[in-house]
Structure 1
């Protein structure tokens, strides 16, 4: 029999209904209350379904309902046991071949969304013209990537989740392509759920509106950068082009620092580029932090700053074309 420890109550109504529990190997289970216990100690009958941590995370974020994770994402045999399901309670379980149909939740049962942080607020994107499905996907990806990068630099001390951003900077080889895609995805997953950017509503018309809930400071920084990029003779665009050209001349764009022999002088030049780019990007207060992150790989840090700019440039293009006439405004 496996012993489980109740770690979190996800849903309750007079009694715990859905919980998270771990076994001694720290494997995670979703537990569902399906009846009162019939022993003299009382409590409730629970069945448990093991799932991968990323699946449980997606379930908690509202990406799919309870029925889906129980029936489609279960790993191994189900377990069952009796417990009051208070946080910290331990229970002994026994195998359960299958969940009785009457005990399964109905489709559409989602965990209530986390309470939003006081640092977030509604911000609006006023849209016009024709938006296809591909536009919505691209726009969402660009917002997510830009938001993740700025949040990581500006909110690292305020964040309840102390993710080691320096490990992420060093994790990827920085050849470009999917290394940067995965980097931004990891950064976004590191943001505490209450402070992630989320869509509150979409009104598609001509004109229409996308309402997002997002960190106010991050939204303002991205808005200001988009305005700068779209300004004629933009210093921001010139800074990007200069640094990109410098890397291209050295044939470093497709190479990692470990594959090159970078001299001390060239490392100083890379640090100067980091300083210049962060100033142009409105991140001058985070310059020292970026330099600290870049201690072992200033080339990688320069490349991620350039990758951040490219995402902003594509966001700015939505504004320049008139599809997104205003970006992240109060109303």
Structure 2
């Protein structure tokens, strides 16, 4: 559970927008994985649970605020810190963080960047289902609507498909914490959108996220100089 250096490899084609969008998305997906898909310590677990239970989840503000909460709950010693940036071709961004979530991000991004239509199809199906639920709520003029058994069953299956496509391992635990398959769908969808943004950097060749960290070079012990013999 110690901090380490994770190197994001980058080429020389980044613009100012890229230098904002990549770190912004990376910090968010890191916080999500840190809080929901690892055993790493959060500062206040109940603060996260309170947000999951009390937010209205009727629009985008709940998602934005949830990510802010997650980022604030990353332990200070594991918050990503830029140690070095070299802008060249090749270049890199060295991040000091907990390497475990970083490697999980790399695996998720790689899965999305190299997958066929599976992830896209699961995400689109969830959005279609969420839209229909929202439309039904608007028609009934209520903020929160009781899902039908069919809707619950459909979202449960789609959530599993989307979670699998982005290597999210603790879907059942997330479902237990939200207490709502509807909220779980919204959280997974938000995470997918941010991972997809990182995947676009990978597929365009602008960035590479290694799925393993380089091993440190073995330390070598300097050879002792042989003493010269002085024969009389």
TM-score range normalised by the length of the shorter chain? 0.7 to 0.9
Sort the Cα spacing of 1:325 and 1:161 in 2 relative to 1 into closer, same or farther, 3 A.
closer
Structure 2 residue corresponding to 1:271, chosen from 156, 159, 162: 156
The DSSP-based 3-state class of the residue aligned with 1:230 is helix
| Secondary structure at the counterpart of residue 200 of structure 1 | strand
Please report the TM-score for the alignment, with normalisation by the length of structure 2. Answer: 0.79
Report whether the alignment pairs 1:289 with 2:173.
Answer: yes
Q: How many residues are paired up?
A: 211
Compared CA separation, residues 271 and 166, structure 1 to 2 (3 A) = farther
Which residue of 194, 202, 206 corresponds with 2:77? 194
Give, in angstroms, the shift of residue 258 of structure 1. Answer: 4.1
Deviations 1:7-39 (A, max 9, x none): xxxxxxxxxxxxxxxxxxxxxxxxxxxxxxxxx
Q: Do the aligned partners of 2:202 and 2:209 also contact (CA within 8 Å) in 1?
A: yes
Equivalent pair of 1:225/1:312 in contact (CA under 8 Å): yes
CA distance in 1, matches of 2:94, 2:67: 22
In the alignment, does 2:32 pair up with 1:143? no
- Is the partner of 1:175 in helix, strand or coil? coil
Q: Deviations over 1:34-56 (max 9, x none)?
A: xxxxxxxxxxxxxxxxxxxxxxx
Provide the C-alpha distance between the structure 2 equivalents of 1:225 and 1:186, rounded to a whole number of angstroms. 22
Higher Rg = 1
Cα deviation, residue 191, structure 1: 0.8
Q: Which has the higher contact order (CA 8 A, sep 6+)?
A: 2
Q: How does 1:17-28 map to 2 (within 5 A)?
A: none
SS in 2 for 1:259: coil
SS of residue in 2 equivalent to 1:205:
coil
The answer to whether the Cα contact below 8 Å between 1:124 and 1:209 also exists between their aligned partners in 2 is yes
Mark the CA change 1:262 to 1:142 in structure 2 (over 3 Å): closer, same or farther: same
Structure 1: which 5+ runs fail to align?
Answer: 1-117
**Residue 35 of structure 2 contacts residue 42 of structure 2 at CA under 8 Å; is this kept in 1?**
no
> SS at the partner of 1:206?
coil
Q: Which has the higher helix share?
A: 2
Contact 2:25 2:198 in 1 (8 A): yes
Greater share of strand residues, 1 or 2? 1
Give the conservation status (yes or no) of the 8 Å contact 1:123–1:329: no
CA distance in 2: counterparts of 1:290 and 1:152, whole angstroms: 10
Matched, 1:183 2:61: no
After superposition, the Cα gap between the structure-2 partners of 1:209 and 1:119, relative to the gap in structure 1 and judged at 3 Å, is same
The answer to whether the 8 Å contact 1:270/1:299 transfers is: yes
Relative to the length of structure 1, the TM-score reads: 0.57
Q: 1:276 to 1:253 in 2, by over 3 A?
A: farther
The answer to whether the 8 A contact 1:274-1:301 is kept is: yes
Aligned to 2:41: 159
